[in-house]
């Protein structure tokens, strides 16, 4: 076994690998860029080596810098994590030439599966089900339009070297095929230095289901069940679960056997994932093989009990797998939610800044938190804006969903925008609970983006009670109320309504007469605590709390509400206050996130139509096309190609 390994990555996956290596008694080396000086992964490792400037292209993606760190520290092996150099055959070759073990598959498998065009040919030869398409690289937009028409719309234009949702566009007509080819090629060139794009049939109402494979160098190759990854936005996974609520044992076995056949065809050794697209009739087609650890690997670990990072290390060290296919059993259900620094109310644009407050849910047998940040960490514009992966396990799917929702309620993040409430609304959505999933789920159920989850009577009453309890405790602290005695008449403003209530707080028990009925909240909350935990109506409840100038902001079950609590006289006076009208910003196209202007597609005096592309802004290696929301005329252009923009910076002005 290795004595020391280097992790050629950053963030949560570097921390994840370090934890397993430490448990195995293996020393660890972290590498870090200037932006990651002092980052959690660098602090967790036994040694840490600086490898260059903040941009990944000048640090984490520079093979020579990694090799220098290996040589300097004497690491015997390198774990690449995911992303960066994890599927770079040249990196694996360079390590081999230096006498260092690559903790992953051999260069042959990386090369074969890393090229999406060649991988499909190999999969076809191995007897794996294939999606109809045109596997040759497309030369230009004209050929993209011609090939798309031949394959039949809708089609998917995909970068041959793509991954992580980059370099992918769906086209339903010729105009979208042409535009999609240009955007996919540009993203692929920027992210992978390879602008080859191919076309395949887009399967409508599809599910994205993947098979985890594991193989050693002694002839054992097995599959560890599947992961349902259909909940996606912009081709990036948001929620993953194991097993899939859709598959039956026969389909699971057929998919697993095809995945193993493909792995054997390329002499695969290590952990890897074969991704399939599955239609409503459980027909499945090969999508791609990822020759690395997947972001969503924890759900497989939770239901199988297999530490995939440990197995990767042991296989790389030459050991045999200690289990066979008959030993693989699925225990319960696991769900993973990706917690991102992004603003769901602004089309999920990335958010950067410092994590001013951060309290993660407690880890238990049912809850796991994989993260690479702590309170005070910086979410940088240079890397993926993931804060953490939150994983919940239960005896069945409903139990896993309940554990996930409860954990999300307890995930307190301040300082940047984040998607925690959106994730909670998603897992509580009736269609999600029923397991009726497709990759179009978010577009269909959240077509206008996300503002708030459904406000039920139960959630509203719990928030009203919580606001009253907080108000009375703060009043007692300020010596406004000394020794609560008997009911207090108050007016609660919530969800646009004003409610006269009678509140009786005795110890940790609040009784509230609300809308003609009595409700009870039990909580030991005290001033200064960001989470209010207790029981409401006999059920455990957790609410997040922020004090606003004139209200209490409460967050629970994906709902965010500002609740006012006033005396009857104060409520009467508040109704007389003038309402501040927000400024009209409809005349401006503002940048929704920090980014770089790729192109400005209109000029002063141009007439534009709703839906027309106005500008393209790149953020975190993704191109974002900004479109007109309505017809109009361009009055001014305030930025140019190559400019760096801040959030809300004005790009265009309409007449």
Q: Is the domain of 430 the same as that of 319?
A: yes
Residue 241 lies in a domain: no
Q: Based on the structure, what is the number of domains in the chain? A: 5
CATH of the domain at 625: 2.40.50.100
Residue 122 lies in a domain: no
Q: Where is the domain boundary, 546, 574, 602?
A: 574
Q: Is the domain of 438 the same as that of 534?
A: no
Q: Is the domain of 137 the same as that of 71?
A: no
Cα 444 from Cα 446, distance rounded (Å) = 6
- Asked if 168 and 160 touch (Cβ cutoff 8 Å), the reply is no
- Domain containing 191 equals 132-201
The SS3 assignment for 382 reads coil
**pLDDT attached to residue 114:** 85
Cα 634 from Cα 654, distance rounded (Å) = 5
CATH of the domain at 150: 3.30.1490.20
**pLDDT attached to residue 246:** 97
Q: Is the domain of 291 the same as that of 435?
A: yes
Q: Report angle CA 605, 607, 608 to the nearest 5 degrees.
A: 130
Q: Is the domain of 509 the same as that of 633?
A: no
Q: Is the domain of 79 the same as that of 42?
A: yes
Residue 234 lies in a domain: no
Per-residue burial over 381-391, b if 16 or more Cβ lie within 10 Å, else e, is: bbbbbbbbbbb
Q: Is the domain of 344 the same as that of 412?
A: yes
Residue 405 lies in a domain: yes
Starting at the edge strand found earlier in the chain, the sheet holding 607-608 runs 588-590, 650-654, 632-637, 607-608
Q: Is the domain of 400 the same as that of 427?
A: yes
**pLDDT attached to residue 621:** 64
CATH of the domain at 38: 3.40.50.20
Residue 59 lies in a domain: yes
Q: Where is the domain boundary, 84, 103, 122?
A: 103
| pTM, entire model | 0.86
Strands 632-637, 101-102: parallel, antiparallel or unpaired by DSSP? unpaired
Strands 4-7, 77-79: parallel, antiparallel or unpaired by DSSP? parallel
Q: Is the domain of 9 the same as that of 156?
A: no
First to last CA, the chain: 69
CA 633 to mean position of chain CA atoms: 37
Low-confidence ranges of the chain (pLDDT < 70): 164, 479-486, 620-621
CATH of the domain at 555: 3.30.700.30
CA distances from 466 to 408, 413, 475, 494, 552 (A): 18, 20, 14, 12, 9
**pLDDT attached to residue 602:** 95
Residue 384 lies in a domain: yes
Q: Which residues pair with 615 in a beta bridge?
A: 600, 626
Would you please indicate which residues are annotated as catalytic (active-site) residues?
288
Q: Is 33 exposed, middle or buried (0-12, 13-18, 19+ CB in 10 A)?
A: buried
Q: Is the domain of 296 the same as that of 429?
A: yes
Q: Is the domain of 218 the same as that of 166?
A: no
- Asked if 388 and 365 touch (Cβ cutoff 8 Å), the reply is no
Q: Where is the domain boundary, 394, 420, 445?
A: 445
Which tokens belong to 386? 């993931």
Q: Is 316 exposed, middle or buried (0-12, 13-18, 19+ CB in 10 A)?
A: buried
CATH of the domain at 353: 3.30.470.20
Residue 579 lies in a domain: no
Of the candidates 109, 64, 62, 113, the one whose C-alpha atom is nearest the C-alpha of residue 84 is 62
């Amino acid at each position: 076994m290795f004595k020391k390994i280097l992790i050629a990555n950053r963030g949560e996956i570097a921390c994840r690998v370090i934890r397993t290596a430490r448990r195995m008694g293996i020393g660890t080396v972290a590498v870090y860029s200037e932006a990651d000086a002092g980052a959690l992964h660098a602090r967790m490792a036994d040694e840490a080596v600086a490898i260059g400037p903040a941009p990944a292209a000048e640090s984490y993606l520079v093979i020579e810098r990694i090799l220098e760190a290996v040589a300097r520290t004497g690491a015997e092996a390198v774990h690449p994590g995911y992303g960066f150099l994890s599927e770079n055959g040249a990196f694996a070759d360079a390590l081999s030439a230096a006498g260092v073990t690559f903790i992953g598959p051999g260069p042959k498998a990386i090369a074969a599966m890393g090229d999406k065009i060649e991988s499909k040919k190999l999969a076809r030869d191995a007897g794996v089900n294939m999606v109809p398409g045109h596997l040759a690289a497309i030369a230009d937009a004209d050929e993209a339009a011609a090939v798309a028409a031949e394959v039949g719309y809708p089609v998917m234009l995909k970068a041959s070297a793509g991954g992580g949702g980059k370099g992918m566009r769906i086209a339903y007509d010729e105009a979208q095929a042409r535009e999609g080819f240009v955007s996919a090629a540009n993203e692929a060139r920027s992210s992978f230095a390879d602008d080859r794009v191919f076309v395949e049939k887009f399967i409508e109402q599809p599910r994205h289901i993947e098979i985890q494979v594991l193989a050693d160098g002694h002839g054992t190759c097995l599959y560890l069940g599947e992961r349902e990854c259909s909940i996606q936005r912009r081709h990036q996974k948001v929620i993953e679960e194991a097993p899939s609520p859709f598959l039956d044992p026969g389909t699971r076995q057929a998919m697993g056997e095809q995945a193993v056949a493909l792995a054997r065809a390329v002499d695969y050794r290590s952990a890897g994932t074969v991704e399939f697209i599955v239609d409503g009739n459980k027909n499945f087609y090969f999508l791609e093989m990822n020759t690395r650890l997947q972001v969503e690997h924890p759900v497989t670990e939770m239901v199988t009990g297999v530490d995939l990072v440990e197995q990767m290390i042991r296989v790389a060290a030459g050991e045999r797998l200690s289990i066979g296919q008959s030993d693989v059993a699925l225990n319960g259900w696991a769900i993973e939610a990706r917690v991102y620094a992004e603003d769901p109310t602004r089309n999920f644009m990335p958010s950067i800044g410092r994590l001013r407050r951060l309290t993660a849910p407690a880890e238990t047998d049912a809850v796991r938190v994989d993260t690479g940040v702590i309170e005070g960490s910086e979410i940088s514009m240079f890397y993926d804006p993931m804060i953490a992966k939150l994983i919940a396990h239960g005896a069945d799917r409903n139990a896993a969903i309940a554990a996930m929702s409860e954990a999300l309620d307890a995930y307190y993040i301040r300082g940047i925008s984040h998607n925690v409430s959106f994730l909670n609304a998603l897992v509580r959505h009736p269609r999600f609970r029923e397991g009726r999933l497709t990759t179009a789920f978010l577009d269909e159920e959240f077509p206008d983006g996300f503002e708030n989850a459904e406000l039920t009577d139960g959630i509203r009453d719990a928030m009203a009670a919580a606001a009253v309890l907080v108000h009375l405790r703060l009043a007692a602290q300020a010596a406004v109320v000394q020794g609560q005695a008997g009911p207090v008449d108050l007016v609660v403003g919530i969800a646009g309504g004003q409610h006269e209530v009678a509140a009786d707080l005795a110890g940790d028990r609040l009784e509230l007469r609300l809308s003609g009925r009595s409700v009870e909240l039990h909580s030991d909350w005290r001033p200064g605590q960001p989470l209010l935990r207790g029981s409401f109506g006999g059920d455990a409840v957790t609410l997040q709390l922020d004090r606003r100038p004139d209200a209490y902001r409460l967050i629970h079950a994906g709902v965010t509400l500002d609740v006012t609590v006033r005396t009857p006289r104060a409520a009467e006076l508040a109704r007389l206050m003038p309402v501040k009208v927000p400024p009209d910003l409809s005349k401006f196209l503002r940048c929704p996130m920090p980014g770089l202007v790729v192109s400005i597609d209109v000029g002063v005096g141009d007439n534009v139509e709703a839906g027309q592309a106005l500008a393209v802004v790149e953020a975190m290696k993704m191109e974002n096309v900004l479109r007109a929301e309505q017809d109009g005329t361009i009055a001014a252009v305030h930025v140019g190609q190559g400019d760096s923009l801040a959030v809300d910076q004005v790009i265009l002005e309409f007449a």
